[in-house]
Structure 1
Amino acid sequence: MENKLHILNGYTDELFPVNICVVRKYSDLPIGSGFKSLHWHEDLQFVLCTKGYVNYQVNGIEYKLKEKEALFINKGALHMSNDMSEDGEYVTLTFPEELLFFFKESRMKYKYVWPYTRMDFLRCYEIKEENEIISYLYDIYNIYLNGSDMFEYDVSILITMIWRDLVKSLSKIDFIPNKKDVERQERVQVMLVYIHTHYADELSLKDIADAGMMSIAQCNRCFNKMLNVTPYEYLIQYRLQKATNLLKDATLNVTEISEIVGFNNVTHFIQAFKKVYGISPKKYRMMEDQDEKGS
C-alpha cells in the first residue's frame, strides 16, 4: 500500500524542481496540496500567509500565522495546516536543498546549507512582518500569479536571497539540541507510517505502540506531545480523511466505504464523520457533487 505520509514531491517540471501551491480552506491549487494533511518530506518549505490567518502544526507545536507572516519548515519535520479563517489563504514554496548548492560539491553546500538543513533540533523558524524574506516570498507569489519571461531564473534568484537572509538570522541563534525530542519525532513517524499502511485493519493501541517499539503509555505520551491527539483519535481522523476521498466515487455506498476505511460499524462511522465534518457522509457527498457541477 502506498505511504501517503512521507511525501516524495512530484515536481511538475523535473528540470526545475520548485512547487508553488496556493491553499484556501475549501480549495487548493494544485488539488490535494494540503489542508489538514499531516506529512513530512525531504524538501525545504516556506509557508506565507496571504489572507486571514492559518494555524500550522510542526512536530506538535502550534504556530498561528497572520497575513504577511511566514514559516520555514525544515526537511523531515512533521507538519500540517490544521485551521484557517474562512477567508484564509496561504502559499507554500517547496524545493530540494540541492537548489541552493549551485553545483554538487560547492562551498555553499557545506558552509551555508547542510549546517542548517541537518540540524535535527531546527524544525522550523517563524518569520514576522517587516522582514525582507516576506517581501521575496510575495515576489515569488506574484510571479506565480502573473508569470515571468524568465520564470526559472527569477524564482531561483529570489529563493537564493531568501535562504541568504534566513541563514543570517539563524547564525545569530544558539541552538540547544534536545535528543529526546528528536527520538520522539522518529518514533512517532514510524508509528504514523504504520497507521497509514494498516488503517483499514483492526488496529489496537498495542499494535501501534509495538510499531514504535514502546509501551502503550509511552505511545500515548508521544502522540499527545507531538500531535496533540491520542493514537486512536489520529487513527479515526485518518480513516475519515480516506473516506472523504472515497465519497467522490458514486459507485460505493456509505456502508461499503465505512468498511473499506476500517470501521466495523456504519453507525459509528456516520457519528464520527458528523463529529469531525459537521455533516453526514451522504450530505458531504451531495455537496461535493454540487461543487463539481458548479466548477
Structure 2
Amino acid sequence: MQPFMATPEPLIDERVRRVCFYIRSAYMNPIRLTDMAKLVNISEGHLRLLFRRELSQSPYQYLLLVRIEKAKELLLYTELLLTEISYRVGFDEYGHFMSTFRKLVGLSPSKYRKANNPYS
C-alpha cells in the first residue's frame, strides 16, 4: 500500500466528530442530547443512531467516559476532594459520580487514587 493511501484513524462521520469535540470541550457543563443534536442540525434519534454506528455507544455514554477520564486525571494530579472533582467534571450528584466511576473503572475513586499514586 502506498503511504499516501494509509489512513491512521478510521473515518468517522463529521457530525459525530463535531459532537465529540463539543463534549470534550464542555464536559464540565450540563450537556443535553438536544444541544448536541442542534449543534449538527440533526434529530436526537439520528444522532443516537450515528453514535451507535460510528462509536458503538450513545452520546451520553461517550459524555460519561470523557467525564470519568477527566476525573481520573484530577485524582492522580491534584489533591482535590472527591466531591470537588465530581462537580468539576460535570456531575450534579456526588452519588452518581461515585457509582459511574466504580462501574466504568472497577474501583471507587479513592481506591483508584491510592492504587495509582506513585507517592503512596
TM-score, normalising length: structure 1: 0.38
Residue 208 of structure 1 aligns with which residue? 36
Residue 113 of structure 2 aligns with which residue? 285
Per-residue CA distance 1:151-199 (angstroms, 9 max, x = gap): xxxxxxxxxxxxxxxxxxxxxxxxxxxxxxx7x6111101111111111
Residue 74 of structure 2 aligns with which residue? 246
Q: Which amino acid aligns with 2:52?
A: N
Which secondary structure does the structure 2 equivalent of 1:203 belong to?
A: coil
**Distance (Å, rounded) in 2 between the aligned partners of 1:123 and 1:201:** 29
Higher RCO structure, 1 or 2 (CA under 8 Å, sep 6+): 2
Residue 217 of structure 1 aligns with which residue? 45
Identify if the C-alpha distance between structure 1 residues 225 and 254 changes in structure 2 by more than 3 Å, giving closer, same or farther. Answer: same
Residue 190 of structure 1 aligns with which residue? 18
**Superposition pairs of residues 90-101 of structure 1, within 5 angstroms:** none
Indicate the structure with greater helix content. Answer: 2
Q: Which amino acid aligns with 1:196?
A: R
Residue in structure 1 matching 2:91, options 263, 270, 285: 263
**Distance (Å, rounded) in 2 between the aligned partners of 1:123 and 1:245:** 25
TM-score, normalising length: structure 2: 0.89
Q: Does 1:235 align with 2:63?
A: yes
- Structure 1 moving runs of 4+ over 6 Å: none
**Offset of residue 123 of structure 1:** 6.1
**Superposition pairs of residues 96-175 of structure 1, within 5 angstroms:** 114=4, 116=5
**Distance (Å, rounded) in 2 between the aligned partners of 1:209 and 1:198:** 15
Long gaps (5+) in structure 1 = 1-71, 73-111, 125-181
Indicate the structure with greater strand content. Answer: 1
* Aligned-pair Cα RMSD in Å: 2.3
Alignment: residue pair count: 120
Long gaps (5+) in structure 2 = none
